[in-house]
């Protein structure tokens, strides 16, 4: 046993390779986005921001606004409703609790395509198709499990004794909730919100079914653009999205610790 922990050279080099495999697409997208020419290549002598300027001409700005509005709102509605649900789930015992929990978690397990098919048919038949409201509610459904999970974890981390102690000292249960529980779970809730935002912001598989002509989200716009034309403007837009996601992930990390929220 050369190294006690078993970190062999083979295992290490394998991991280096896999990490390259995991990150290569993103790194190459970022490098390519600065190309001065019409082709996808990594600029060596000349760097250019022309494709960043082209983002606006292509019309991605519209999709970006829709996606932002949709993700911000959907995550907010999810946060409020999901928090209430998580509160009930962690603090009460009632009939049908297991079923309610299964229902709230189901959107993670049910394939996006199946939900997309169901929602499309439903929206077309009830006349909700091509409305922002339709998109919003669909995104609430797919983000709510993530909110409930993070909120439930935060809520169960607050020991019940602390709330009881506050109440024994004369606080009403509402006061104890506002002054004891809320401050303790605040970062958990913000993390859940960012998490839900990222899920909604990047969703394509279900959204593409229910998207009308009126409101298209940025990823769907990019998807369609890639199927038709192909210029490095996609690389520029992708780079902005990569930077955006990584910034949000770092915020998550600072706030709650990625380790605690996801790992």
* Ramachandran category for residue 257: left, alpha or beta (phi over 0 → left; psi -120 to 50 → alpha): left
- Member of 107, 181, 193, 215 binding other proteins (CB under 8 A): 107
SS3 139: helix
Instruction: Specify whether the backbone of 239 is left (phi greater than 0), alpha (psi in -120 to 50) or beta.
Output: alpha
Identify the CA nearest to 30 among candidates 254, 245, 251, 252. 245
Which residues inside 126-155 make contact with other proteins, applying CB under 8 A?
137-138, 140-141, 144-146, 149-150, 152-153
Name the segment binding other proteins (CB under 8 A); options: 43-51, 52-60, 92-100, 179-187.
92-100
Rounded to the nearest whole angstrom, what is the least distance from the CB of residue 90 to other proteins in the complex? 5
Nearest to other proteins of 69, 87 (CB atom): 87
Residue 168: both structure tokens together: 């024994």
- Only segment of 51-59, 68-76, 179-187, 221-229 that touches other proteins (CB under 8 A): 221-229
Length of the chain: 263
CA distance 17 to 105: 35
Residues numbered 225 to 244 that lie near other proteins (CB under 8 A) are 226-227, 234-235, 238, 241-242
- Please report the DSSP string for 99-114 in residue order: HHHHHHHHHHHS-HHH
| Interface positions, 172-211, toward other proteins (CB under 8 A) | 172-174, 195, 198, 201-202, 204-205, 208-209
Restricting to residues 9-38, name those near other proteins by CB under 8 A.
11-12, 14-15, 18-19, 21-26, 28-29, 32
Residue from 74, 119, 180, 185 binding other proteins (CB under 8 A): 119
Distance of CA 33 to the CA centre of its chain: 24
Judged by beta carbon, residue 57 or residue 93, the one nearer other proteins is 93
Q: How far apart are CA 78 and CA 73, in angstroms?
A: 8
Does position 169 interact with other proteins (CB under 8 A)? The reply is: no
């Amino acid at each position: 046993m050369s190294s006690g922990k078993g970190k062999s050279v083979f295992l290490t080099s394998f991991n280096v390779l896999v990490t390259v495999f995991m990150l290569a697409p993103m790194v190459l997208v970022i490098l390519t986005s600065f190309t001065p020419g019409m082709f996808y290549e990594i600029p060596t002598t000349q760097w250019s921001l022309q494709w960043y300027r082209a983002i606006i001409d292509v019309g991605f700005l519209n999709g970006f606004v829709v996606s932002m509005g949709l993700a911000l709102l959907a995550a907010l509605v999810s946060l409020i409703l999901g928090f209430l649900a998580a509160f009930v789930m962690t603090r009460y015992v009632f009939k049908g609790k297991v079923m309610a929990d299964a229902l709230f978690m189901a959107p993670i397990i049910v394939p996006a395509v199946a939900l997309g098919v169901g929602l499309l048919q439903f929206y077309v038949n009830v006349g909700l198709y091509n409305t922002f409201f339709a998109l919003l509610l669909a995104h609430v459904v797919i983000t709510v499990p993530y909110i409930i999970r993070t909120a439930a974890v935060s809520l169960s981390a607050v020991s019940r004794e602390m709330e009881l102690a506050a109440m024994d000292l004369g606080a009403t249960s509402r006061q104890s909730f506002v002054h004891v529980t809320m401050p303790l779970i605040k970062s958990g809730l913000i993390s859940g919100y960012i998490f839900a935002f990222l899920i909604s912001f990047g969703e394509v598989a279900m959204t593409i079914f229910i998207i009308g002509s009126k409101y298209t989200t940025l990823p769907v716009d990019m998807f369609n653009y890639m199927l038709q034309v192909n210029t490095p403007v996609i690389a520029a837009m992708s780079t902005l999205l990569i930077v955006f996601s990584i910034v949000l992930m770092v915020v998550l990390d600072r706030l709650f610790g990625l380790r605690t929220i996801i790992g």
